[in-house]
Structure 1
């Protein structure tokens, strides 16, 4: 008679939503802030005076399809 041994199987890790939700909200807020600075930080909606932010994100603005001039 032969004996067959099986390798242990990996059990999936359960991550509770209450642990992920704060990080998901934080990441979402960072993304919204980044989209604002790339897409709308110029002219009348500008939060920072001058064109420094506009020039810093200028190429990203064109890459994402935001018109700027």
Structure 2
């Protein structure tokens, strides 16, 4: 009965990706990460690079405290 059940063994193989294919993704991830870090950690509202509005600061206010960034 066990011979009737065919078991297929597959092996995972590594795929080599050229640097030209991964570099745009890595750079995009870096830019997005730096923007998130800026808006969460550095933007203070009054000293914002994007104008004298505190809208972004108020949107991420609780996340700033949760992550340990001071803002007062």
TM-score bucket (shorter structure): 0.7 to 0.9
Structure 1 runs, 4 residues or longer, greater than 4 Å off: none
Structure 1, unmatched stretches of 5+, are 1-5
1:30-41 aligned within 5 A: 30-41=32-43
Q: With structure 2 as the length reference, what TM-score do the two structures score?
A: 0.72
Q: With structure 1 as the length reference, what TM-score do the two structures score?
A: 0.75
Structure 2, unmatched stretches of 5+, are 1-7
> RMSD in angstroms over aligned alpha carbons?
1.9
